[in-house]
Chain A
Amino acid sequence: MAINPRAIKTTGYLLEAQGLTVGFGPVNIIENLDIQLKRSEILGVVGPSGTGKSVMMRALIGLLPRRGGRIRYFGRDIDKLSLSARRKVERRWGVLFQHGALFSSLTVKENVQVPMREHMDISQELMDELAELTLSMVGLAPNAGAKLPSELSGGMIKRAALARALALNPDILFLDEPTSGLDPVGAAEFDELITSLKETLGLSVFMVTHDLGSLYRACTRIAVLGGKKVMVEGDLDTILAYDDPWVQSYFHGNRAQTVQVQMAEEDKALV
């Protein structure tokens, strides 16, 4: 999958955080946490509420200050980069916020064009075409582009925000609870969309989620947060076999069984 083969220095990871420590006031929410994102994988981050999943993601993308630790993107330590080099790195990731965070005074199409307009020197015509193309790729109807965010449904907001995150053809896509607030069918469609975009665009995806369905359907690797650190990481089977009360109840509880039944049915429907 060498679509954008870019030189990776020192390590094979697109994103690598070591000893990450983030806290508020006297408390550290996460402490000495290590996490990596490999090329072309969908990493799902789960954990009980309040273990700092979103805090970790916000620290990784530089929205929260760190108390300690090093973060490397594409093999380069972001603390050692100049401001302009940092901005370049930032353009290589796209972020989908939990509630979309679309600019409410701009239309959907203008929202998608904001990063293009700010960072690229391309004609309005090409921007219009690319915005239309991206909106079509994320599965929005042709008339959605002219709408304002307040006129969209929850699922459409997520798709529009995803289109904006994809506008600059990022290498890494950060998703914060991408399927929260969607009905199970909409959530399943969104998972499929992420998987297919990962295939076609060669994305690597970092997903914070609560949704078991996403973990089963989309993620190629899962990291479970607990005790201010990554408690366990690996593929689904590794996690299912891990002996921890929270992991056991989360992945083997009633809810998990329902999801497993759903998955089996979806598989049958595909055959």
Chain B
Amino acid sequence: MATVAIHNGYRLEEGGDTLRFKPFGSWIIRNLTEVEKTLSGFTMPKSSAPVVIDLSDLEKIDVAGAWLIHRSAKKFAAANHPISFESVGRAARILLQEVAESDRPSIPPEPAPSKAFTLVEDAGKSVISSVGDVRRLTELIGSMAAIGASMVRRPAMLRFTPILYHLEQTGVRAIPIVALITFVIGAIVSQQAIYQLRDFGAEQLAVNFVGIVILRELGVLLTAIMVAGRSGSAFTAEVGAMKMREEIDAVRTLALDPIEVIIVPRLTALVIAVPLLTFIGNLSALTAAAMVSFFYGGVPIDLFIEQLRDQVDMINFTRGILKAPFMAIVIGLVAVLEGLQVEGSTDSLGKRTTASVVKSIFLVIVIDGIFVLYYAMVDG
């Protein structure tokens, strides 16, 4: 007599010298979770009895169901059971045929290298990419210099409309946020200076301190960081999207130089905009300082202005604002370089934009440090 074992989705009947594998119910992808679990825990009978795959109780089947039946049949065959099919409906036959035709050995994925190996590999890769960054930066600076030289000879090459457009985007539209940030920081620094100097009875010296620190360092640094976050990221995303959509290649095939068409207008706009924004930032921070001195320190505004004029030399302002064009060039170059390295995926666009902002803010601070060293040496 036949012994019957019922599992999720199929019955196994052992009787005489044959084994009947009878799937039942709906073998469609939505229902296969349980079936797959029991099938994977299936142990092959030890005998090599012929197996009949009987589809008479099968109600519905789709590609995924056909695949599981096909896979079970393959497993039986691999264990030396002769296979035969019974009661295969038209739909099931077409699907089983299609599945058998499409079955092919999959290419095994490359074995993952060991952790230690990946660590060394990653370290190597980042060194190589930093070296590449330096090389690409040198290349870009070189071609910019060449274009700059030819522009001195032919100023008509300078594209005014795009420069004006980018001036509006990176300059005019950045005014509110730059003014706000420098105002708030100016107020904070001023309050701290007054508070700390009050114990020594030297509140009026706060004006000297605040004036110098804003004009020399804070104004330009904050402006450059804001511009790096605002325009640097925008440049990287724009150039990166243009790269992804082959627009940069298109520019090249139209016998135009992408550096001249895409990069020079953006960089020119930045070099003009950042010093102007720095000036606005300085004014805004000093206004905040004056207001804090008046309300918190009790220094009248006219006294503040007088003190500022007497004690804070013009040299502080020029030394601060002199840094701005250098920072602008670095922000622009980093943004464009990262943008040009975007590859096909949206993923790389995101990574490059992040890298652009992080690198340019880092470099802005490094440049500031270099200037501080330089000024210290000059002043002796």
Chain A residues engaging chain B, CB cutoff 8 angstroms: 1-5, 104-105, 116, 120-123, 125-126, 128-130, 132-134, 136-137, 142-143, 145-146, 148-151, 166, 168-169, 199-202
Chain B residues with Cβ below 8 Å from A133 are 63, 67, 99, 102-103
Tell me the B50-93 residues at the A interface (CB within 8 Å). 60-64, 67-68, 71, 90-91
What 4 pairs across the A-B complex have the smallest Cβ distances? A150-B344, A105-B347, A136-B102, A104-B345
- Determine the residue in chain B with the shortest Cβ distance to A144: B107
Instruction: Tell yes or no: B36 within 8 A of A by CB.
Output: yes
Chain B residues with Cβ below 8 Å from A2 are 91
Chain A residues with Cβ below 8 Å from B90 are 1
Chain A residues with Cβ below 8 Å from B104 are 132, 136, 142
15 A–B contacts from the bound complex (CB under 8 Å): A130-B29, A130-B64, A133-B63, A133-B102, A133-B103, A136-B104, A142-B106, A142-B107, A143-B107, A149-B345, A166-B63, A199-B94, A200-B97, A201-B62, A201-B95
Query: CA–CA, A229 to B29, complex, Å?
Result: 37
8 further contact pairs, Cβ within 8 A, besides A105-B346, A166-B63, A201-B95: A4-B28, A4-B60, A122-B36, A129-B67, A145-B107, A149-B344, A201-B62, A201-B63
Tell me the B97-128 residues at the A interface (CB within 8 Å). 97-99, 102-107, 109
Tell me the B1-60 residues at the A interface (CB within 8 Å). 28-30, 32-33, 36-37, 40, 60
Chain B residues with Cβ below 8 Å from A137 are 63, 98, 102
Nearest CB on A from B161, distance (A): 30
Q: A122-B32, A133-B102 are in contact. Are A3 and B64 (CB under 8 A)?
A: no
**Helix, strand, loop or mixed for chain A's interface?**
helix
Chain B residues engaging chain A, CB cutoff 8 angstroms: 28-30, 32-33, 36-37, 40, 60-64, 67-68, 71, 90-91, 94-95, 97-99, 102-107, 109, 343-347
Nearest CB on B from A5, distance (A): 7
Complex contact B62–A120 (CB within 8 A): no
Query: CA–CA, A134 to B97, complex, Å?
Result: 14
Chain A residues with Cβ below 8 Å from B28 are 4, 169
Partner of B67, one of A1, A130, A150, A202: A130
Chain A residues with Cβ below 8 Å from B32 are 120, 122, 126
Chain B residues with Cβ below 8 Å from A151 are 344
Partner of A146, one of B37, B102, B109, B343: B109
Complex contact B33–A120 (CB within 8 A): yes
Complex contact B106–A132 (CB within 8 A): yes
Q: A136-B103, A151-B344 are in contact. Are A200 and B94 (CB under 8 A)?
A: yes
Chain A residues with Cβ below 8 Å from B345 are 104-105, 148-150
Chain B residues with Cβ below 8 Å from A122 are 29, 32-33, 36
Query: CA–CA, A58 to B102, complex, Å?
Result: 32
Nearest CB on B from A202, distance (A): 7
Complex contact A202–B29 (CB within 8 A): no
Complex contact B106–A128 (CB within 8 A): yes
Chain B residues with Cβ below 8 Å from A105 are 345-347
Chain A residues with Cβ below 8 Å from B344 are 104, 148-151
